[in-house]
Amino acid sequence: MTYRTVSCAYCPPTVRACRQGESDTRGPGFCPSKVDPGGVAVGSSRYDDPFVRDVAQASAIVESEGYCRWTRVEEIVQLAKRLGFRKLGIATCISFVDLAHTLSAILESHGFEVASAACKNGGVAKESIGVRDDQKIRPGTYEPMCNPVSQATLLNHAGCQLNIVLGLCVGHDSLFFKHSDGLATTLVAKDRVLAHNPIGALHLADTYYARVWGPDRPAKPRSQPAEGRSNDSPS
């Protein structure tokens, strides 16, 4: 069959041919090299931009130099140094300000200038974005909105070249990334249940966190993406 949707998530462990540079020949029918080679080519051409190329190159070198030795904090420091950045930003959850203090001090100890903005900056009431009182965490109380667009604006005004997200919520982080002028990376992804280790829900999706599945959970793992399901045995 002819696939129209790239679906690397279904690539069998025995294939994953891109790792050997052989996806053109050995990739499955839903491989990007088969479904959208033009997309791969357009993506590749974007590395002709000198800045994009520099970031990609520095990232690859940081990955290899510190492989399984550097923490993510150290990787961020090294990436910023290799790119010649002077000014870094921290976009922090208000609950993580103490950790932002530690991070800011670490970054300063490496010679960077650091700006930081908490998500509640401005203290704007949630009602201003149409959140009703009964939709708040604690109805009947004053709750300031999380303000990631303002966080990004403040760090943009400060001239931050690389912004580090510290515990912003789902969606709030999305708005921050969308509005940040500088590059942005996540140090901590907010997950209140899993101690900010969201991958736990995937590792334990068949056991303790089986509740993450929707009503159409298959009885056994699918071998094909949706377009090729007719080839699957019924589940």
Measure Cα distances from 115 to 108, 153, 165, 187 in Å: 10, 12, 12, 16
Binding-site string for ligand SF4 from residue 44 to residue 83, where x marks contact by CB under 6 A and - marks none: ----------------------------------------
Exposed/middle/buried for 180, CB within 10 Å: 0-12, 13-18, 19+? buried
**17/106 with CB nearer ligand SF4:** 17
Q: Which residues pair with 51 in a beta bridge?
A: none
By C-beta, is 46 or 86 nearer to ligand SF4?
46
Asked whether 162 and 59 are in contact (CB, 8 A), the reply is no
Min separation Cβ 65 and ligand SF4, Å: 25
Confirm or reject binding of residue 166 to ligand SF4 (CB under 6 A).
no
Q: Based on C-alpha coordinates, what's the Rg of the chain?
A: 22
Q: Is 124 in the site for ligand SF4 (CB under 6 A)?
A: no
In sequence order, what are the residues at sequence separation of 6 or more whose Cβ sits closer than 8 angstroms to the Cβ of residue 190? 93, 167, 168, 169, 170, 173, 196
Comparison of 83 and 189: residue with beta carbon closer to ligand SF4: 189
31 near ligand SF4 (CB under 6 A): yes
The tokens for 209 are 């966190």
Whole-angstrom distance, CA of residue 218 vs CA of residue 146: 37
Q: Does the footprint of ligand SF4 cover residue 11 (CB under 6 A)?
A: yes
Q: Is 16 among the residues that bind ligand SF4 (CB under 6 A)?
A: yes
Print the binding letters for residues 80-119 with ligand SF4: x by CB under 6 A, - otherwise. Answer: -------------xxx-----------------------x
118 pairs with which residues across the strands? Answer: 92
15 binds ligand SF4 (CB under 6 A): yes
Q: Per rule CB under 6 A, is residue 23 in the interface with ligand SF4?
A: yes
Q: Provide the binding-site residues for ligand SF4, judged by CB under 6 A.
A: 8, 11, 15-18, 23, 27-28, 31-33, 93-95, 119-120, 146, 168-169, 172
